[in-house]
């Protein structure tokens, strides 16, 4: 029994800017992402901002546990602790000496980027979606 309504479903996303359609398989029992970045049009980066151009869930989803994805397709997987830690390490490395307006860089609050990444990791929660390209 799945915990999430769209577990193992093939979901159709439509870009609100270029109208591009993409089928993405949810390969795990995780919630759907609210939006995904469009691989085709120039608005890809803006789509990270929910107000600027998220993709819409448009289609009826059909469950398919046996689906065989093709190379190059994007699929939804569970954001596991290892992936979360890798991303937190990347983020900590990038942000280590970066000084956002009116805020201190990470280097003023942590002994090392690793310590900062481990602190970020504390908010990891299982069951979150993550999109990978096969």
Query: Which positions lie near Zn ion, rule CB under 5 A?
Result: 15, 17-18, 20, 38, 40-41
Q: To the nearest whole angstrom, how small is the minimum distance from the Cβ of residue 35 to Zn ion?
A: 11
Residue 40 or 134 having the CB closest to Zn ion: 40
3-state SS class at 24: strand
Q: To the nearest whole angstrom, how small is the minimum distance from the Cβ of residue 67 to Zn ion?
A: 24
Q: To the nearest whole angstrom, how small is the minimum distance from the Cβ of residue 9 to Zn ion?
A: 22
Are 60 and 80 in contact by the 8 Å Cβ rule? The answer is no
Residue 18 or 94 having the CB closest to Zn ion: 18
Residue 13 or 79 having the CB closest to Zn ion: 13
Residue the block writes with tokens 């939804």: 76
3-state SS class at 78: strand
Q: Give the Cα separation of 69 and 53 in Å (integer).
A: 27
């Amino acid at each position: 029994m799945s915990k999430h309504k769209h577990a193992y479903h093939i979901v159709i996303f439509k870009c609100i800017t270029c109208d591009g359609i993409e089928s993405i398989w949810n390969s795990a029992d995780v919630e759907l992402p609210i939006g995904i970045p469009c691989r085709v049009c120039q608005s890809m980066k803006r789509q990270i901002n929910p107000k600027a151009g998220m993709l819409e869930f448009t289609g009826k989803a059909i469950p398919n546990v046996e689906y065989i994805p093709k190379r190059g397709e994007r699929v939804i997987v569970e954001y596991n602790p290892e992936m979360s830690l890798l991303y937190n390490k990347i983020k900590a490395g990038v942000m280590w000496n970066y000084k956002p307006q009116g805020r201190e860089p990470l280097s003023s609050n942590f002994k090392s980027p690793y310590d900062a990444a481990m602190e970020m990791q504390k908010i990891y929660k299982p069951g979150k979606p993550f999109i990978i390209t096969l």
